[in-house]
Each structure stands twice: as C-alpha cells, then as structure tokens.
Structure 1
Amino acid sequence: MGEVVNVLVAFAVIVFIFRWATSSNDTTEQRSAADTLGFRPKPVTQVMIDTISNMFPDIPVDNVRYDLLRTGSVELTSNKILERGFLDAPPPAYYTLFPRDTNATSTARPPAANATARAAANKHSESLISRYHLQDRVIKAESILEEQIGGKAVWEDTAEKREASLRERKAQMILAARQRLLAQQQKTTSASNKA
C-alpha cells in the first residue's frame, strides 16, 4: 500500500513540474498583455477580424479586435453588435499593444468585396426583360389590359403548377410595368415637344 502512495506522489510532482516548465515560456508575454488590458486576451486571427469587418463595415477595426480579444468568438462579437448596435472603444492601454496603422484606412474595402459590388451592379443594370427572358413577349404585351394583371390567383393542385402560375404572373407584371413606363415616357416627350 505504501508503494502505491509513493507512486501517486511522484506522479503528481512530475505533472506539477511539467506544467510549471511548459507554462513559464509564454506567460511573460501573456502576463504583460493581461496586465496592460486588464484581462487575459484570447487568440485572435486576421480572418476573425475580417469576418466581423465584412459583416459590419461601420464598426472600427480596433473596436472589433478589442472585443474579439475579450470574447475570442466571432459569434459572440457579432451577437453583441446586433443586440447593442455598437462595440465599446478600446482603452488607451490597448494602443500600446496594437498601435494604429496610419497607412490603412478603415473604410477601404478588400478587393474581393469590390469585385462582388461590381458583379452586383452589373446584375442590377441588366433589364428585367432580359433577366426573365421575356424578349419575345414584349411585342405581344401591347394588348395586355391593366385589369388582366395581378388579381387573385387560383390555388393550383401541385407545386409545379403553382410555380408556373407564379412565373406567369411575374412576367405579366413586368410587361405591364414596361408598358406604363413607355406610356409615361411618351407623355413627357410630347409635353416637352409642345413646350
């Protein structure tokens, strides 16, 4: 029985020495950061900061990094922004560890975001007629009456029939809106020619 106790005490001493030896390597850096900030900072990657900054571009990057250092979680930080609408500004001690980058601007978008914005602008510049492939129906649409557009839809039996009915109503609304726009443009051009 005495040998088992000796083995357990020896094992506990070895574990204690191992933990002390491995934790002393990085504690000075962590201890200084913890002393400066007032809490033990969690590991934060640039991807985490970029994720929050892309979701909420109006929140300053320093506020995002400071909150991520506290929480260590993109989800918690984004929930805090959604609930409160803002993040607390970091204290002056934060800037001793993370000095501001004077070359980078917080309003600059990454190149991927610019490409996405250009693609969205191109998609919006495309007309509804070409987007919904209604070019062949534009000529036939001259005789569509305003009363035929909209109205009550009949509930179809199958999902496919309901989808086709919805597509047809959408096409009719687009064509009717085009007719109204053309009529309005004709009125303005005739009024400007008379003046």
Structure 2
Amino acid sequence: MIVISNPMEIVNETNIINALFEEGMELFHIRKPNYSIEELRSFLSAINSSYYSKLVLHQHHVLAEKFQIKRLHFTEKDRLAKPNRFLKPVRFLSTSVHSITDFNGLPNIFDYSFLSPIYSSISKENYVPTKNAFEEIKKRTNQHTKLIALGGVSVENIKNTLSNGFDNIAILGTIWNSKNPIENFKKCQKIVHSF
C-alpha cells in the first residue's frame, strides 16, 4: 500500500508521516507541486532519515542525491515532455496514467504506475472516473509494470479493488481527509495485508 502526501500543507504533517512509518508504511510519495526547492528541502529534513529509502519524490528530483532518495515519480506530463530524464537503473521509477492504453504503452523502465481515478476522488472535487476501471484493466497487456489503483480508494473498497486485477493501491484522501489519519491507515493496512 502506498500513501501520497496531501499537495497542501497539513498541520503536524511530518510528525504524522513519521508515525505512519512507525506503523509500517512501506512507501510514501511526496507530492508538493507548489513547494519551492527550499520548502521541500525543509520538509524532507523533518522526516526521520531512516525512512528516506521509502520516500518517492514527485518534484525537485535534484534533492534525491542529497537525501539519498532512490525513488522518483514522473507525472504523465513530465514523462511525455522529458523522456530522457529517467535515470534507471540507478533509481526506482514510477509514473501516472489515466487510461489502460497509456499503461500498456509504458516503457519497461517503470516499476509501477498509478491509474486514476478508479472511484470518485475523496480529495479532488468533481474528479470522477469516465470508464469502469475494472472493465478497462481486462485489456491489460503490460505485465512488467505494476498497476496501482488511485482515486477514491478507501477502507470500504480496498478488498474489491485488489480482488479485481490491481497489483496494489495508493491512498491520499482516505488518510489526509480523515480526523484520525493513523487509525485510518491501520484499517487500510490490515485489509491489504489480508491479501
């Protein structure tokens, strides 16, 4: 199970992130599109350095070396605009797609890709699926890249999602829009570990 940061600043966010790691969070995607490089550097410095190997950077990839982060994420836009920036095999690479056709066409350098939205988004208003993702993934031909469900994934639908062809899930709104992110994480984690 992958957790993605809220793109906006959250009160006590790095404390919550450290606590999530203590509870067994495997991967944490840092997506802060409006952060300057200095703001992101400060943010990273507040995370326990023993967890840097489990961080994935979406922006300011240049910070990866300083923080010994081996995982980079490329948005669909960046992937299409800057195909020569992929640094495999030095790092683990992930990306995002919005159709199974695009997923099937990914080069083999990507370890996994988010496919979204699967359900109506919890964190983005009016971000809803235009097709039935579970019908669409029956057309999957790319077996090299892991397929990760994103968008509206919650305690209520994790089991259905993993039972219907996705390799893993990513959660954002179900954590950051919750009054108790740690407890919600533990509930999701328990379901994922039952598979």
- Which protein is richer in strand relative to its size? 2
**Relative contact order: is structure 1 or structure 2 higher (C-alpha 8 Å, sep ≥ 6)?**
2
Greater helix content:
1
Q: If the TM-score is normalised by the length of the shorter chain, which range does it land in?
A: under 0.3
The structure with the larger Rg is 1
Q: Give the TM-score taking structure 1 as reference length.
A: 0.17
Q: TM-score, normalised by structure 2?
A: 0.17
